[in-house]
């Protein structure tokens, strides 16, 4: 059975303006690979209602799961929850379960659950809350879309909450062979090698560091024994 | 006149598997912002022909410029040039101008311009070459799509080659006010402030570092005087 597929949607002007370097994509990619969920596409869009809704619809239809990051805080530019609701045609308002979580949190910290903070309790009807052990305000899953915060520490905590609830596949394993040869010298025999192992994915990634250059040959697949055999054959070929 | 718009397409299994953390998106975002070209969307897709062609078509139709990174080396998994040609219905083969560049380069270094390396001279008819002062193998522009290498040092060099040839707009300027208050306390008055300055974009980005937390309020726009006035008003509001 093929692995489940996934897409990620990163929401935020600050990434597209170059002000902030996104960290969540790389983190999620590693987590999904370990769990055997194949990340097939990532999109980054700005804090724009139409752009978010269009991307959510396209990705939700195309992949088993969609993970979003960003835009669920208390400020005026946090519009993700309302956009997800609109994409699914779901009603959205402050929901009692999310409100109770926030009320308890702010009571403990002696802060006021004001109108702005209450925006973080806006959850679409039919959505399941995603636990946020870092700062309480929950994410949510609606249909196959999992909505999480953009702050990396909170994003990671939410990924840890949601991933164990999803059905994974065979984890994608990889073996790397580092060769101190340029890709141009390897490419011919490497292409032939890739054709000999149609069940494995063979990639070549050039590197150049401190004046030394070479290529990392990465072989990926879900069968550890097949991978070990392939990497041995590769070593013999290029030794 | 509104600024030109742009999208970026990052091509590569290694990003989606979490093996490599992309660096080119953040770099390009900063460069485009300085030049007044508004980066509106980024997509990351795998080394998959159909996925690359579909993304190129969608982005090429939607934005003034499309910048791609990755997949133009000599190995079997480098399929970007052929996909771009297919997306535009253009013929592609080894082209004399690109071949001459590579021949001179490998003659100088005493290496053979073998069949694999010659793949890097595959350029669609009608495309303009993008200079690569780092490792010679050129990128190219076809229509509004600018095709560049994934290796960060080469990507940067190609961006430096192509950007001065494109018409920019008014550079997007930004001012940041750092406040040691949580977003929940700022969100109400900040939303009202954003409504008072409809020509500026006002974003709020929470931070938490070494136990201290607060919010960076970022005001963006193309008019430096308007920005300075706004940030003074913001300081007065939250002082």
Comparing alpha-carbon positions, the chain A residue that sits nearest to B45 is: A41
> Is A212 or A217 the better-scoring residue by pLDDT?
A217
A54 touches chain B (CB under 8 A): no
B197 touches chain A (CB under 8 A): no
A174 touches chain B (CB under 8 A): yes
- B36: how many CB neighbours lie within 10 A of its CB? 16
- Residues A177-193: tens digit of each pLDDT: 999 988 999 999 999 99
Say if residue A43 is in the same domain as residue A158: yes
The number of domains in chain A is 2
Q: Give the domain CATH number at A211.
A: 3.30.70
Say if residue A18 is in the same domain as residue A66: yes
pLDDT at A49 over 80: yes
- Residues B15-68: tens digit of each pLDDT: 999 999 999 999 999 999 999 999 999 999 999 999 999 999 999 999 999 999
Smallest CA–CA distance, residue B113 to chain A, in Å, is 8
Say if residue B99 is in the same domain as residue B204: no
With beta carbons under 8 A apart, name residues in chain A contacting B20. 205
Substitution target from B26, B66, B77 for chain A, most A beta carbons within 10 A: B77
Which ipTM did the prediction report?
Answer: 0.92
Say if residue B12 is in the same domain as residue B122: yes
CA distance B236 to B239: 5
- Taking CA atoms, B232 is separated from A188, B205, B220, B238, in Å, by 62, 19, 14, 10
**Final residue belonging to a domain, choices A116, A134, A165:** A165
Exposed / middle / buried, residue B97 (Cβ in 10 Å: 0-12, 13-18, 19+)? exposed
Say if residue B225 is in the same domain as residue B203: yes
Nearest neighbour of A174 by CB, restricted to B19, B187, B206: B19
Say if residue B127 is in the same domain as residue B160: yes
Give the residue numbers spanning the domain of A49: 5-165
Which of B193, B190, B174 minimizes the C-alpha distance to B182?
B190
Residues of chain B under the 50 pLDDT cut: none
**Which DSSP state fits A135?**
T
Nearest neighbour of B77 by CB, restricted to A40, A182, A204: A204
A213 touches chain B (CB under 8 A): no
Would you say B218 and B175 are in contact if contact means Cβ atoms under 8 Å apart?
yes
B16 with A31: Cβ contact below 8 A: no
Name residues whose C-beta falls within 8 Å of residue B34's C-beta, 6 or more positions apart in sequence: B171
Query: What local confidence, expressed as pLDDT, does residue B206 receive?
Result: 85
In the structure encoding, which two tokens stand for residue A96, read together?
Answer: 């009692």
CA B152-B138-A206 angle, to 5 degrees, is 40
B206 with A151: Cβ contact below 8 A: yes
Start-end of H helices in B110-178: 115-118, 152-162
With beta carbons under 8 A apart, name residues in chain A contacting B122. none
Nearest neighbour of A114 by CB, restricted to B29, B31, B184: B184
- Strand ranges (E), B64-190: 65-69, 92-94, 122-124, 128-130, 139-142, 145-148, 173-179
Say if residue B67 is in the same domain as residue B39: yes
């Amino acid at each position: 059975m093929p692995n489940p597929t996934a897409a990620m949607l990163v929401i935020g002007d600050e990434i597209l303006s170059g002000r902030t370097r996104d960290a969540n994509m790389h983190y999620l990619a590693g987590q999904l690979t370990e769990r055997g969920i194949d990340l097939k596409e990532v999109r980054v869009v700005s804090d724009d209602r139409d752009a978010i809704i269009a991307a959510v619809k396209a990705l939700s239809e195309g992949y088993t799961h969609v993970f979003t990051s960003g835009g669920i805080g208390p400020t005026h530019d946090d519009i993700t929850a309302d956009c997800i609701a609109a994409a699914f045609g779901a009603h959205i308002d402050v929901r009692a379960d999310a409100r109770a979580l926030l009320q308890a949190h702010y009571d403990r910290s002696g802060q006021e659950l004001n109108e702005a903070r209450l925006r973080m309790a806006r959850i679409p009807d039919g959505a399941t809350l995603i636990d946020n052990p870092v700062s309480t305000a929950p994410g949510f899953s609606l249909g196959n879309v999992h909505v999480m915060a953009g702050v990396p520490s909170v994003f990671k905590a939410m990924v840890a909450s949601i991933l164990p609830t999803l059905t994974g596949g065979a984890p994608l394993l990889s073996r790397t062979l580092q060769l101190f040869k340029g890709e141009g010298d390897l490419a011919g025999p490497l292409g032939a090698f890739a054709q000999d192992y149609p069940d494995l994915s063979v990639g070549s990634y050039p590197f150049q560091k401190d004046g030394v250059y070479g290529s990392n040959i990465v072989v990926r697949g879900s069968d550890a024994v097949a991978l070990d055999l392939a990497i041995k054959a590769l070593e013999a070929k290029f030794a």
